[in-house]
Homo-oligomer: A and B are copies of this chain.
Amino acid sequence: MKNSGDRSPSIIRRLPKYYRAICELSEITISRVSSKELGKLTGFNPSQIRQDLNSFGGFGQQGYGYNVKNLKENLEKILNLTTKKTMVLLGVGNLGNALLNYPGFNENGFEIVAAFDRDRNKIGTEIGGVKVHDIDTLQEFLKTNTIDIAVLTLHKDVAQRYATICAENGIRGFWNFAPKKLRLPSRAVVENIWLNESLYTLGYFLTEKIREEDELLNNTNYDFIEK
């Protein structure tokens, strides 16, 4: 268990950011990158980046930096992007629709294999190449298909009910967009994306920054008058 035990969740959360930067460099066919340049692309401190990557075995060379292709492959291995992960999407509203039409997940092994909704007008249709099933058939579907991740884009009032059905039928990964804290067995892994909370946080920091600058401005004026 040592492999993961000595790495904090915050390191893990930085890895996809390194991966995004490395993909950008790879697209414009840059072959070599320093931790300093990676720092500029990701906003992290170069020594932090070196330390993080060292904890997975290095991949860099002093004075040379990192080979882009090599680091990209290693990050894909660490993040397990080379293995296929199957997903079901529950709730084909606007957000569910957007996710079904997003081609980016498939590229890295995340495949939505079926969508579920209770709306008769949606059941039977195909969105982004994925068939929409009656959500009442979810349990039956899960009994005959091995699914790694449930994407929850349904209303918060029903999120728990369907998350429980998923957990009881073998799903362990939950990508939850419903603004609701899910109660799931400890074997489940949950990643929440709560849009409102993100927006409120932005609003708070924005207000604070403007207030601080106003105060600074007022204090400056005051000093000026004092003199």
Residues of A within 8 A of B (CB): 1, 4, 9, 12-13, 15-17, 19-21, 24, 41-43, 78-81, 83, 85, 93-95, 97-99, 101-102, 104-105, 108-110, 148-149, 172-175, 179-181, 187, 189-191, 193-213, 215-216
Residue numbers in B under 8 Å from A191 (CB-CB): 198-199, 201-202, 205
Q: Do B104 and A94 touch (CB < 8 A)?
A: no
Asked if A149 meets B94 with Cβ closer than 8 Å, knowing A108-B196, A181-B42, A209-B172, the reply is no
Chain copies in the assembled complex: 2
What are 27 A-B contacts with C-beta separation under 8 Å?
A1-B212, A13-B201, A16-B196, A16-B197, A17-B181, A17-B194, A17-B197, A19-B200, A20-B197, A24-B180, A79-B200, A79-B203, A80-B203, A80-B207, A85-B206, A94-B97, A97-B97, A102-B195, A105-B196, A105-B199, A110-B203, A149-B203, A172-B210, A175-B202, A191-B198, A191-B201, A193-B198
